[in-house]
Structures are given as structure tokens and as C-alpha cells.
Amino acid sequence: MKIRIDKERCVGNARCWAIAPDLYPLDDEGYIAIEGFDVPDGQEELAKRGARACPERVIEIVED
């Protein structure tokens, strides 16, 4: 599973980070710091929960 993030649309709610701070790091201004990542084994559900928490829907789940 992969996660893709549209950083340009992030408004800094940080709800993804509140659920999974190790998967969704923030920059110094409180916006998502990455554009995507491969989800580590065993953390798929946590990654999905973080993605669903985003009110702006900038996080896309890509199933392998």
C-alpha cells in the first residue's frame, strides 16, 4: 500500500498527524511535510485512519 499526498491542498488541520504522527510528519508551519510514502507492514489500518481524518481529502490511499 502507498499513500500519496497533495501537499499544495493541505491547510494544516494536522488530523492525519494526530492519528499517526510517525506516518504523517508535519513541517515547522504545521503542514504535511511529505508527498507520499510506502506504508510499512502492519501499519496499513493506521495509515488509512490518518487519511480518512483529513477533512480536505488531500491524502490518497493506493492499494498495491
What mean pLDDT value characterizes the chain? 97
pLDDT for 29 equals 96
Query: What's the pLDDT band for 64 if we cut at 50, 70, 90?
Result: confident
Domain-by-domain residue ranges, the chain? 2-62
Residues 28-58 pLDDT 10s: 999 999 999 999 999 999 999 999 999 999 9
CA 21 to CA 13: how far, in whole Å? Answer: 13
CATH number, span 2-62: 3.30.70.20
* Cβ–Cβ under 8 Å, residues 27 and 33: yes
Residues in contact with 2: Cβ distance below 8 Å, sequence separation at least 6, in sequence order: 36, 37, 38, 39, 61, 62, 64
